[in-house]
Amino acid sequence: MDNDRRYVRDEDFVYRRIVDEVLLLPIRHNFGDLQSIFTLNEVGACIWELLDGSRTLRNIRDVIASEFDVTADVATADLEEFVARLEDVGAVHPVAA
């Protein structure tokens, strides 16, 4: 993992909390495709809020490891998987170093 990478959220994804659900809603995609709505768990929601383009993945990993009951290794793996998935769907973009 390149811990110095930074990512920024795409403005065309809206983050909402409704009752117990945390949702990512892409407003430019066609919702006729039901797979375009994403739900996040609490770790994912926390990561999403931290992906502001200024924090490095190392910073975010450290926050996750301190706020949730996970080891640094697990936090790293979760973060890698999450960011890769978000990048796949266009919800985040890497920030040039």
Q: Which residues bind other proteins (CB under 8 A)?
A: 14-16, 18-21, 23-25, 27-32, 34-41, 43-44, 47, 78, 81-82, 85-86
Least distance in angstroms from the C-beta of 74 to other proteins: 11
Q: Which is nearer to other proteins, 41 or 54 (CB)?
A: 41
Least distance in angstroms from the C-beta of 88 to other proteins: 10
How far is it, in rounded angstroms, from Cα 91 to Cα 47?
13
Two tokens, residue 44: 């994912």
Least distance in angstroms from the C-beta of 80 to other proteins: 11
Q: Which residues contact 77 (CB under 8 A, 6 or more apart)?
A: none
Element (H, E) at 57: helix 57-67
